[in-house]
Structures are given as C-alpha cells and as structure tokens.
Structure 1
Amino acid sequence: MTASPTQILTIEDFLKFPYLEGSPAWEYVDGAAIQKPMPKLRHSILQKRLLTEIDSHSESYTTLPELRCTFAGRSVVPDIAVISWNRIQVNGLGEPEDNFIEAPDWSIEILSPDQKANRVIDNLLHCIKHGCRLGWMLDPDDYSVLTFAPHEEPKVYRGDCQLQVLEGVYLELTAQQVFAWLKIDKR
C-alpha cells in the first residue's frame, strides 16, 4: 500500500478526490489516503472463485468485488463485500443507491505480496467493530485463512478444517479447497 503525505485529510475531502475511483482502490484510514496494491493473478483467481462460490450458495446475500464501504470515519474497499440483499438501499426506481455507508456483513481480503497484513487486519477489525459479522483474510503464501467475528478470538484455518461462513450462506469450504483453485492444469 502507498500512503499519502502526512497531511491529515477529512473524510469529506477524501471522498471528493478526483482519482478516488481509479484503480487500484484508495482507502481512507486515520486521516490519510492509502492506495491498495494492484491485484496480481493469484489474488484475482481467488477473488473470482470466491465471488462465484458464495453467490451460488446464498439467495439472501450478494457478493460484490471492490465495493467502497464508508462508515464510522473510514472508507474501505474490501476485495469482496458480502451484503444482505435487504440492507441495500434503493432509490425511487428500485435501483440500488451508489454509496454504501455501512459495514458489509462479511468482509473478505486477499493478502497481496506487497501488502501489509496489519493494515488489512486493522480494516477487518474496524468492520467487525461497526457491524460486520465476519471477516476473512486469505494469505495465499501461507495457504491460510484468518477469520474474525464479533466477540470471538481470531482463528487461523489451514488444510481441511471447515471455514466459518455467515448463516444463510450454505457453503462448505476448507482452506485447502480455496487454495487448490490456484493449481492450474495445463493439459
């Protein structure tokens, strides 16, 4: 992640930045604009597969890639935001409002090689503190998934241990299955 100069910004000023929606995403944390690293191939494969798997195993939730979530003085862009359909605000035409101003129900981050784990954990903990019910941090180099949930100790999942998912997501998945998606058969 690249941090901006030490000038303190307000969240209102940050949200007016002309390059805010550029890629890679910018986040607002503790008065600073921080740019996430550009996703690489393993990150993108895991993100795509998780989006597909979670979406296909729940009618109550939708999975959204790189959705800006601005709440409680922070603006974060999880790699995947899982949100209950009934929490999405709609306008008079029945279409979703563009700005999501709450914590997602489930925030998923995929650690990139040049990303700082503590920054990612800090964002996940912020989400949990402000209403998120589940957080995942996937570490493709360690083949592990670190999970966070309110009033629970963080847990590290490896191998064939069943991963924690939200109630209403009917998905049985292990860390081993997730990271097996990175094996490419080139027959």
Structure 2
Amino acid sequence: MAELLTPTLTLPQFLQQPETKPANEYINGEIVQKPMPKGRHSRLQGKLCATINQVSEEGKIAYAFPELRCSFGTRSIVPDVSVFRWDRIPFTSEGEVPDNFNIPPDWIVEILSPEQRPNKVLSNILYCLNQGSNLGWFIDPDDLSILCLMPQQQPVICQGDVVLPVLRDINLTLTVNQVFSWLKMV
C-alpha cells in the first residue's frame, strides 16, 4: 500500500521538495508515496510508451512520457504514462522538453500495482478528466482488463479482443489482449 506521509505543505512548498524514489504525489493536501514499480508494471509501461511513440512521435502528433510529474490545479501527480498532444507540450524557447509540466495530460494511463488501492488510482484519472484530459486508461494486470474513461461518458470495462480507444489522430489499433500479451516475453 502507498505510504501516506505527513501533510503539512502547500502545493508550491511540495514542489520545492527534492524528488523521491518512488515518487511522492500531492493529492488533496496530502503527500502520498507511489509504490515502487515491479516487473509487470514496468513491462506494460515501457511497451505502451514505445508503441504510442512509434506511431505518433515522427509525425509530431503526440508523445508518451513515463513517470512524468504533472502539477496543475491542486495536485501534483506522476501518472504511469502521460500522453500529450504535440502542440500541447510546453517546449522551452530552445525547443527542448521542459522539466515542469503544469497542465494535465491529454491521455493518462495508470497501471494498478498490488499495493495500490484502486479508488485512489482512479481518483487521479478522474481528476485529470475534470481538468481537461481527454482519455484515461486504468490497467488491471490481475483482472486482464482496462477501464477506459472519457469526459462526460460512462466508463467502459474492456477485455479480450475489444479495441481500445486512443486519442484522435493517433494511428494505433490495440486490443486488450494485445496489451496483456506484452507480458509474455518467452
């Protein structure tokens, strides 16, 4: 389970603190430490970022960042995968990726770890959707399901050969089975 640390800081004060491993998040005035990613989590996260970036980076459509701190509104979170449309990446004046992202991702992906409470993880996805994100995936490796969330719509639990929703303009067709097949490496 994620460790709840003593909450005594404001969001700006929290952002002045040194980064930790695993990352701390600032949620509703509380500092919560994320669990350390394990094998299945890392594999799904890495493959998903690589797959999205393979079809969207060259055309400057979008980019998937792993473990990127996003601070906006009243939260500072570190989603497992944050996908930003290219035109929303806050590049520096030199055209480089900045260190700080103060906007919600267009697409947030969270992968449930055994130590996490599902509703705490889902609350970050829902918060992002309320702040302007277009899509959220909640991946449950134990259940072999992906809960897909979009603003103003009912969540949909996807399993098997269901094709998953992705951001508009990203030329990617993935089924739930394809995502979980990445866990088999032999």
TMscore range, shorter length = over 0.9
Report the alpha carbon displacement of residue 183 of structure 1 after superposing the two structures with TM.
1.6
User: Partner residue of 1:16?
Assistant: 16
User: Partner residue of 1:65?
Assistant: 66
Question: How many angstroms apart in 2 are the aligned matches of 1:88 and 1:54?
Answer: 15
* Counterpart code for 2:98: E
Report the alpha carbon displacement of residue 94 of structure 1 after superposing the two structures with TM.
2.2
- SS of the aligned residue for 1:52 comes to helix
User: Partner residue of 2:26?
Assistant: 28
User: Partner residue of 2:85?
Assistant: 84
Report the alpha carbon displacement of residue 92 of structure 1 after superposing the two structures with TM.
2.8
User: Partner residue of 1:104?
Assistant: 105
Larger mean CA deviation between 37-46 and 80-89 belongs to 80-89
* Counterpart code for 1:94: G
Report the alpha carbon displacement of residue 71 of structure 1 after superposing the two structures with TM.
0.5
Report the alpha carbon displacement of residue 57 of structure 1 after superposing the two structures with TM.
1.8
* Counterpart code for 2:143: D
* Counterpart code for 1:70: S
Question: How many angstroms apart in 1 are the aligned matches of 2:142 and 2:78?
Answer: 22
* Counterpart code for 1:45: R
2:134 corresponds to 1:136: no
- Name the TM-score, length of structure 1 as normaliser: 0.94
2:165 corresponds to 1:164: yes
User: Partner residue of 1:180?
Assistant: 181
Report the alpha carbon displacement of residue 148 of structure 1 after superposing the two structures with TM.
0.8
- Name the TM-score, length of structure 2 as normaliser: 0.94
Question: How many angstroms apart in 2 are the aligned matches of 1:92 and 1:50?
Answer: 29
Question: How many angstroms apart in 2 are the aligned matches of 1:94 and 1:114?
Answer: 39
Superimposed CA distance per residue, residues 38-79 of structure 1 (whole angstroms, 9 cap, x where no aligned partner): 000000010111011111122300010001000111001100
Superimposed CA distance per residue, residues 126-153 of structure 1 (whole angstroms, 9 cap, x where no aligned partner): 0000010000010000000011101110
Question: How many angstroms apart in 2 are the aligned matches of 1:70 and 1:167?
Answer: 24
- SS of the aligned residue for 2:153 comes to coil
